[in-house]
Each structure stands twice: as C-alpha cells, then as structure tokens.
Structure 1
Amino acid sequence: MIKSAGWLIIFFGAAHTLGALTVKQAALHAGSWFTGALWYDDLASMSPANSAYWFSLASFGPPLIVVGATVLWMHSKRITPPSFIAWALGAWTLVGAVVLLRTPWPILLVATVLLLTGIQRARREGPVESAATAQAG
C-alpha cells in the first residue's frame, strides 16, 4: 500500500507538471523565464509567462514528485514513513478539493488513504526501523 501511494503521488506530480508544460503550453514561455523577464513581474497581475511558470515548474507538481520518491525510498529501505506526511497530504488535498472541485484531487485522496492504511499496517506488524538505523545497516 505504501509503495502504491508513493507511485500515485509521483504520477500526480509528474502529470500536473508535464501537462502544464505540454497540454497547457506553459513551456512556450520558457524563454521569458530564463532571461529575467519575471524578476520584476507583479504577482498581483501576473503576466502570461509568470502564470505559466507558477502553473508548471513552480507548482506543487515537482515537490509532489519528491514526496512520492521519498515515500518509495523509505519503503525500499523498510522504513515506515511518518504519518504526518499522509495527514498533511490529505489535508492539503481536501482544501484543494473545496477550492477547485473539478480537478483530479481524488487521485491524491486515494494515495492518502493507501499511505495511512499502509503506515498503520506496518506499525501493527512489528517494530519500525528508524532512518538512522537503516543508514547504519
């Protein structure tokens, strides 16, 4: 369950980022991003290039990929992820669902439930290895 949750989190982050860059054509603004055009852009009235940047590379997509990869890495090292990761992801997902109902937030909700369930099962099955113990061994 933990492994499935990690892959779902990575999938969601990657799909959002790559979808923004390709389907929503945010990558067309990459030239502006790397020439300093956004340095003095007003966040209150974003330019199309700034909006595209925040929708793609500066969005929650890349950090979700890192969170999912961390969950998978921990699972591969037989370390149970801390439950705060699942609770934080779940709370953030529910806020997102309320704010933007017509988004694929149920994917992250499923990942949250899988992660919480996997964490509970791992705790019931025996002692949990700490990150320090896993690194030493």
Structure 2
Amino acid sequence: MIKWAGRLLAFIGAVHLLVGLLLSRTYFGDWLFFRLWGHWWEDTRAANAFWGSPAGFGLPLFVIGLLVTWMDRRGITPPVFLPWVVLPWTVVCTVSVEPSPAPLATAASVLLLVGVRRSARPAGS
C-alpha cells in the first residue's frame, strides 16, 4: 500500500506540475522578469499561473510521493504524521477545486495512512 501511495502521489504531483507549466508557458517571461503583480494588492494572470503551477500543489506532492517511495524501497515506514498532514490537504483540494485529480490524491493519502498503520502493528496482531 505504501509503495502504491507513494507512486500515485508522485505521479499526480508530476502531472500537475508538467501540465501547469505547459499551460502557463506564455507567462515564463513575466515570472523571470518579476512581473507577477500590477500593484502589490492586485494579482495578474501571470501571478495566478505562477501560484497554480511552480508554486502550487504539484511540486510538494511530487516530492512527498518520491520520499514515500524512497522510504518504502529501503524498508522504512513513513511517519504517521505524513498521511495525517497530506490527507486533510487533499480533502480540502477535493472539496474546493473541481474538476481535478485531488480525489486520487485523497485516495493515495488514505492508502498511505492504512499502509503506515499496518506497518506499525507488531507481527501477528
């Protein structure tokens, strides 16, 4: 369960990041030349694209998925706080943003939680 949760989280994060970057490629120049905001209180399309892609959900989720997969390959059980942090994050995204792959991330978080809990039990119980 832990292996598949890590793979799924990494996949969702990578796809989110890549698709977001692909869709926002017209704003790369604005990002590189610090033109994210008109006035400090006004967002621009470039700022929204920035927060939705490189500064958004995808990269941290990708890193978490890679970390979980790395830990699983070494026989290390991820700490129980990890799924308890990722689960509410993905639930809020599932409820707030539709359509999105957030329900898959929520399912991966549940898999991770169940896998971590099972791994924490003593053998034979």
TM-score range, shorter chain: 0.7 to 0.9
Give 3-state SS (helix, strand or coil) of 1:37's partner: coil
Residues 11-26 of structure 1 aligned to structure 2 (within 5 Å): 11-22=11-22, 25-26=23-24
Query: Which AA in structure 2 matches 1:37?
Result: R
Whether contact under 8 Å (2:83, 2:113) holds in the other structure is yes
Distance in 2 separating the partners of 1:92 and 1:43? 27
Aligned to 2:10: 10
Report sequence identity in percent: 40
CA RMSD after TM alignment: 1.7
Over 3 Å counting, the alpha-carbon distance change for 1:2 and 1:29 in structure 2 is: same
Distance in 1 separating the partners of 2:112 and 2:82? 9
Aligned to 1:67: 64
Mean Cα displacement is larger for which, 104-113 or 3-12? 104-113
In the superposition, the TM-score normalised over structure 1's length comes to 0.81
Once the two structures are TM-superposed, the CA of residue 118 in structure 1 deviates from its matched residue by 1.1
Over 3 Å counting, the alpha-carbon distance change for 1:42 and 1:70 in structure 2 is: farther
> Which residue of the other structure, out of 20, 43, 48, is the alignment partner of 1:46?
43
In the superposition, the TM-score normalised over structure 2's length comes to 0.88
> What is the aligned length?
123
Whether contact under 8 Å (1:21, 1:56) holds in the other structure is yes
Name structure 2 gaps, 5 residues minimum.
Answer: none
Name structure 1 gaps, 5 residues minimum.
Answer: 127-137
Over 3 Å counting, the alpha-carbon distance change for 1:18 and 1:86 in structure 2 is: same
Whether contact under 8 Å (2:94, 2:100) holds in the other structure is yes
